[in-house]
Amino acid sequence: MPLTVFNRLTRQKEEFKPLTEGEVKMYVCGPTVYDHAHLGHAKTYVAFDVIVRYLRYTGYKVRYVQNITDVGHLLETDEDRVIRKAGQLGLEPMEVVETYARSFFQDMDALNVIRPDISPQASGHIPEQIEMTQGLIEKGYAYVTDVGDVYFDVTKWPEYGKLSGRSVEDAQSERQIVGSEKRNSADFALWRHAEPEHLMQWDSPWGRGFPGWHIECSAMSKKYLGETFDIHGGGLENQHPHNDCEIAQSEALHEKPFANYWLLTGSLTIDGEKMSKSLGNFVTIKEALEQYRPEALRYFLLSSHYRGPIDYSDEALKAASGGWDGLMVGVQRVRFAMKDAPEDAAGSDFLETVEKRKQAFLRYMNDDFNTPQAIAELQELTTDVNRFLDQGQVVGMDVLTAINDAYNELGGQILGVVPETITIRTDLETVDPLLMMLIDIRSQARKDKDYARADAIRDHLSKLGIVLEDGPEGTYYRAR
């Protein structure tokens, strides 16, 4: 059962075949670090996190590169976003970059997003960008203006716009003539000249200046992944012009394909409108994590397909939290049963069910990373597990281990929503033995019909976010 992916470039599902057997080279457009990341970023990077996790799970050696943009990303006003922020805060531009890059990684860590193998910064790759720009000038695809700007001439590259489905004429007509220095309205900057007071500038063959926004991705993917690589990812809203420009630059210069598979994620909306910094309707990841568990947030993001849109609302997040809770009930019941299960194969009939669910899960993941269906399958497994344990029969270690392994692999390793050990509060991570002692005391109290004491213990723990559940196989705890 081969892995198929929807390739935005060809607009169809294709069997995934990497350039080198067993290896995947992947690049995803990263954030511009001038503010805290919001849930839109979370959607994109959680989606690619699961894609990388799954590729690795199925045996691929993956090199995952995701850039940090820290220079050259301009506002409508031609101001550099990072420099403007530095002015507002009275900081060096690189202090702004450092602050928000750290914030970004903190948020990603909290969301259990595995870090990319390389997180290159644009400002650290100026020579590479200059070299590519120089090459494009020499090949006649780019030209230098009187003031020292360098533009890519889209009319020299007829395929410009092929990812988003535009023709060069479309791209021309949709743009107003802004700078008289450009030959065509759709031409885009590879290099911009800088005035003396501009805070981030470097020497170049065309004078002091800084790179255009698009060239960094072409230059850094080339450096770390090669002229042609397997997967290029990013948010759908950057398809045009950004991704179209990347393709034009790289393919014009190298005369070979840039990325073989384009995987783009749908936008996250809030109240039906796209969440974005420009609209001011964004919820930062930090704000969302004050209200919801990171696992629930991941569960929410993965409960819609990566290519589709998803609308953020309290109802949707509560539903996702409830769904995650239900999953964890199954997980925790199994783990508690494992604490004193006999070392035998009792109940091994159930192994067939586990295997069936696992295969179905993997089948869905192989179909363009269909996480909503995969999650549904995990829920079905949980219903099976609960029904199984409700029978109250003795279940041997072999079977419990198999169930636990399935949860860890599918829900943990691949989706990243099932933690290896539940975290109640950070300051309570190692209290399992203490909780077990309390559960024992309470169980004795219940046997003695001292229900006041039993309930007091349960109430106290409840206030700490720990829920005790009395089931046929004994009492277990879980986080609320």
Residues 232-291 that bind RNA (CB under 7 A): 234-242, 265-269, 272-279
298 binds RNA per the rule CB under 7 A? no
Tokens read off for 333: 């019941």
Residue among 152, 210, 134, 146 at smallest CA distance from 181: 146
| DSSP sequence for 321-376 | HHHHHHHHHHHHHHHHHGGG--SS-TTTTHHHHHHHHHHHHHHHHHBT--HHHHHH
- Mark residues 363-382: x for contact with RNA by CB under 7 A, - for none: -------x-xx-xx--xx-x
Residue among 465, 390, 404, 405 at smallest CA distance from 435: 465
Tracing tokens 């986080």 back to the chain, one arrives at 479
- Mark residues 377-416: x for contact with RNA by CB under 7 A, - for none: --xx-xx--xx--x--------------------------
- The correct pick among 99, 106, 185, 413 for binding RNA (CB under 7 A) is 185
> Is the Cβ–Cβ distance between 261 and 231 less than 8 Å?
yes
Site for RNA in 187-216 (CB under 7 A): 188-189, 213
Shortest CB 34 distance to RNA, Å: 9
Residue among 42, 88, 89, 30 at smallest CA distance from 284: 42
Range list of β-strands (E), 40-130: 61-66
- Mark residues 62-81: x for contact with RNA by CB under 7 A, - for none: -------x---xxxx----x
Task: Name the segment binding RNA (CB under 7 A); options: 56-64, 86-94, 200-208, 301-309.
Answer: 301-309
129 binds RNA per the rule CB under 7 A? no
Tokens read off for 407: 């949860």
Shortest CB 122 distance to RNA, Å: 12
Shortest CB 25 distance to RNA, Å: 19
Range list of β-strands (E), 219-290: 229-235, 259-265, 268-270, 273-274
Shortest CB 167 distance to RNA, Å: 8
Q: Give 2 or 196: the residue with its C-beta nearer to RNA.
A: 2
Residue among 189, 307, 191, 193 at smallest CA distance from 248: 189
Site for RNA in 319-338 (CB under 7 A): 319-320, 322-323, 325-326, 329
14 binds RNA per the rule CB under 7 A? no
Task: Name the segment binding RNA (CB under 7 A); options: 14-22, 86-94, 141-149, 228-236.
Answer: 228-236
Q: Give 19 or 316: the residue with its C-beta nearer to RNA.
A: 316
Task: Name the segment binding RNA (CB under 7 A); options: 179-187, 247-255, 345-353, 396-404.
Answer: 179-187
State the Cα–Cα distance between residues 369 and 147, nearest whole angstrom: 48
159 binds RNA per the rule CB under 7 A? no
CB neighbour list of residue 145: distance below 8 Å, 6 or more residues apart: 151, 181, 182
Tokens read off for 178: 């802004």
Shortest CB 270 distance to RNA, Å: 9
Site for RNA in 17-46 (CB under 7 A): 29-32, 40-41, 43-44
- The correct pick among 207, 309, 396, 474 for binding RNA (CB under 7 A) is 309
> Is the Cβ–Cβ distance between 272 and 312 less than 8 Å?
no
> Is the Cβ–Cβ distance between 150 and 228 less than 8 Å?
no
Q: Give 62 or 468: the residue with its C-beta nearer to RNA.
A: 468
> Is the Cβ–Cβ distance between 365 and 374 less than 8 Å?
yes
Range list of β-strands (E), 16-113: 23-28, 61-66
Q: Describe the crossing of helices 294-302 and 314-337 by its angle, rounded to 10 degrees.
A: 110
Shortest CB 22 distance to RNA, Å: 27
Shortest CB 176 distance to RNA, Å: 7
Shortest CB 50 distance to RNA, Å: 14
Task: Name the segment binding RNA (CB under 7 A); options: 93-101, 137-145, 169-177, 425-433.
Answer: 169-177
466 binds RNA per the rule CB under 7 A? no
Q: Give 130 or 328: the residue with its C-beta nearer to RNA.
A: 328
444 sits in the region (left: phi over 0; alpha: psi -120 to 50; else beta) called alpha
Q: Give 19 or 438: the residue with its C-beta nearer to RNA.
A: 438
Shortest CB 343 distance to RNA, Å: 25
Specify the DSSP class assigned to residue 198.
Answer: -
Q: Give 23 or 390: the residue with its C-beta nearer to RNA.
A: 390
Residue 479 φ then ψ, to 5°? -90, 150
